[in-house]
Structure 1
Amino acid sequence: MKTLSRWSNSLMEKYLPDPYIFVTILTVLVVILGLIFTDATAINMVQYWGDGFWGLLSFTMQMVVVLAAGHILANSPAFKKVLTAGAKRVHSPTKAIIVVTFVSLIACWINWGFGLVIGALFAKEIARHVPAVDYRLLIASAYSGFIIWHGGLAGSIPLSIATDGHPFAEMIGVIPTTVTLFSTYNLFIVIVILFTLPFFNRWMTPKKEDVITVDPELLVEEEVELPKPENNFASRAERSYVLTALIGALGISYLVYHFATKGFLLDLNIVNTTFIILGIIFHGTPQRFLMAAQEAIKTTAGIVFQFPFYAGIMGMMTYSGLAAVFSNWFVSISNDTTFYLFAFFAGGVVNFFVPSGGGQWAVQAPIMLEAAQTMGMDYAKTAMAIAWGDSWTNMIQPFWALPALAIAGLKAKDIMGFCLFIFFYTGIIISIGMLFFS
Structure 2
Amino acid sequence: MLDRAARPLVKLVDRYLPDPFIFVLILTLVAFAAAMIFEGHGPMAVIQMWGQGFWDLLSFSMQMLLVLVTGFMLASTPLVRNILDRLASLAKTPGQAIVLVTFVALIASWINWGFGLVVGALFAKALARQIRVHYPLLIASAYSGFIVWHGGLAGSIPLVIATDGHFSESTIGIIGTGETIFAFFNLAIVVALFIVVPTVNRLMLPEEKDSVYVDPKILEDNADDQIVISRPAEHLENSRILAWLVGFAGLAYIVQYFINEGGLNLNIVNFMFLFLAIILHQTPRRLLNSLNEAVKGGAGIVIQFPFYAGIMGVMTASGLAASISAAFVSLASAESLPFWSFISAGLVNIFVPSGGGQWAVQAPVMLPAAQELGASIPRVAMAVAWGDAWTNLLQPFWALPVLAIAGLKAKDIMGYCLMLLVITGIIISIGLTWL
- TM-score normalised according to structure 2 size: 0.98
Letter in 2 for 1:252: L
Gapped regions of structure 2 (runs ≥ 5): none
1:415 corresponds to which letter in structure 2? I
CA RMSD of aligned residues (A): 1.1
**Bigger Cα displacement from structure 2, 242-251 vs 18-27:** 242-251
Q: Aligned residue for 2:344?
A: 346
Matched residue, 2:192: 192
Q: Answer yes or no: is the 8 Å Cα contact 1:5–1:206 preserved in 2.
A: no
Query: C-alpha displacement at 1:78, in angstroms?
Result: 1.2
Q: Report Cα offsets for 1:50-109 as digits up to 9, x if no partner.
A: 011001000000000110000111111111111111112211000000000000000000
- Show CA shifts across 1:298-348 (max 9, x none): 111100000000000000000000001100000001112211100010110
Structure 2 residue identity aligned to 1:76: T
Percent of matched pairs sharing the same residue:
53
* Structure 2 partner of 1:312: 310
Match of 2:235 in 1: 236
Amino acid of the residue matched to residue 430 of structure 1?
A: I
User: In 2, Cα distance between the equivalents of 1:120 and 1:224?
Assistant: 21
Structure 1 spans left out of the alignment, 5+ residues: none
Distance 1:366 1:262 in 2: 32
1:214-363 to structure 2, matched below 5 A, reads 214-225=214-225, 228-230=228-230, 232=232, 234-263=233-262, 265-363=263-361
CA shift at 1:225, angstroms? 3.4
1:208 aligned partner: 208
Given that residues 9 and 416 in structure 2 are in contact (C-alpha distance below 8 angstroms), is that contact kept between their aligned partners in structure 1?
yes
Question: For the residues of structure 2 that align with 1:110 and 1:3, how far apart are their CA atoms?
Answer: 33
Show the counterpart of 1:23. Answer: 24
Q: What pairs with 1:163-174 in structure 2 (closer than 5 Å)?
A: 163-174=163-174
Counterpart position of 1:84: 85
Partner of 2:57: 56
Measure the CA separation in 1 of the matches of 2:256 and 2:212.
47
Q: Which moved more, 1:290-299 or 1:397-406?
A: 290-299
- Counterpart-to-counterpart distance in 2, 1:215 and 1:111: 31
Equivalent residue letter for 1:142: A
3-state SS of the aligned residue for 1:262? coil
- Please report how far the alpha carbon of residue 228 of structure 1 lies from its aligned counterpart in structure 2 after TM superposition: 2.1
Give the AA of the match of 1:173.
G
Give the conservation status (yes or no) of the 8 Å contact 1:326–1:350.
Answer: yes
Give the whole-Å Cα distance in 2 for the aligned partners of 1:381 and 1:416: 29
- The CA deviation string for residues 192-218 of structure 1, in whole angstroms up to 9 with x for no partner, is 101221111101111332111111122
Distance 1:406 1:245 in 2: 29
1:260-293 CA-to-partner distances (Å, cap 9, x unmatched) read 1125x10000000000011101100111111211
Aligned residues of 2:223 and 2:293 also touching (Cα < 8 A): no
Matched residue, 2:35: 34
Matched position secondary structure for 1:158: helix
Instruction: Give the deviation of 1:223 after TM superposition.
Output: 4.3
Superposed displacement of residue 8, structure 1: 0.8
Secondary structure of residue in 1 paired with 2:163: coil
> Given the superposition, is the C-alpha separation of residues 305 and 226 from structure 1 closer, same or farther in structure 2, using an over 3 Å criterion?
farther
- Using the alignment, how far apart are the partners of 2:126 and 2:193 within structure 1? 24
Tell me the equivalent position of 1:427: 425
Instruction: Say whether 1:379 aligns with 2:413.
Output: no
Distance 2:38 2:209 in 1: 48
The CA distance in 2 between the partners of 1:407 and 1:106, in whole Å, is 19
Shift of 1:297: 1.1
Please say if residues 121 and 139 of structure 2, whose CA atoms lie closer than 8 Å, have aligned partners that are also in contact.
yes
Aligned equivalents of 2:225 and 2:81: distance in 1? 18
1:129 aligns with 2:130: yes
